[in-house]
Amino acid sequence: MWSNILVLMVEDNPDDEFLTLRELKKCGIEGVLVARDGADAIDCLFCAGNHAERDKAMMPRLILLDLKLPKLNGLEVLQSIRDDERMRDIPVIITSSSQEPSDIESCRRLGVEFFLNKPLDGRKLIEIMNDMGI
């Protein structure tokens, strides 16, 4: 069902990356671009977004975003996404072990509705993707 979509996963922990990729594959999602820090995520998004229509296929349909990242944190990445009209409507799911109320509130103000605890549960991800209409 989701074999032809591109997902951007922003994750700095190799173990969490491995587990998430495994769950995504179980869900039939194989088009995954991995960014390992906030700056890498911005590069991935804005390099794809700066090209003409031919690169629309390179834009992710979903972003899985960790909050605690090196270089730029997840909230900074999220703010950059929401500030750009080409990307502001891309659904973002926060994947984090952080349960800090201030983090959750900041994400909600920036349009994030869904949070997944690590390690990622593929069944829960499918449920959320269905709820989002992806």
Say how many C-beta atoms besides its own lie within 10 A of residue 56's C-beta.
11
Nearest to 91 by CA among 133, 53, 46: 133
Amino acid at 113: E
Question: How many Å apart are CA 91 and CA 78, to the nearest integer?
Answer: 11
pLDDT at residue 50, rounded to an integer: 54
Give pLDDT tens digits for 56-90: 557 899 999 999 999 999 999 999 999 998 889 99
Q: Which residues contact 134 (CB under 8 A, 6 or more apart)?
A: 2, 5, 61, 62, 91
Amino acid at 10: V
| Helix or strand (DSSP H, E) at 114 | strand 114-116
Name the stretches of the chain with pLDDT < 50. Answer: 52-54
Q: Determine the Cα angle at 39 with ends 29 and 57, to 5°.
A: 40
Q: What is the pTM for the complete model shown? A: 0.90
Residues 92, 69: Cα–Cα separation, whole Å: 16
Q: Where along the chain do its domains lie? A: 7-132
User: What is the C-alpha separation between 4 and 28, in angstroms, rounded?
Assistant: 9
Q: Which CATH superfamily is domain 7-132 in?
A: Response regulator (3.40.50.2300)
Q: In the prediction, which pLDDT does 34 show?
A: 96
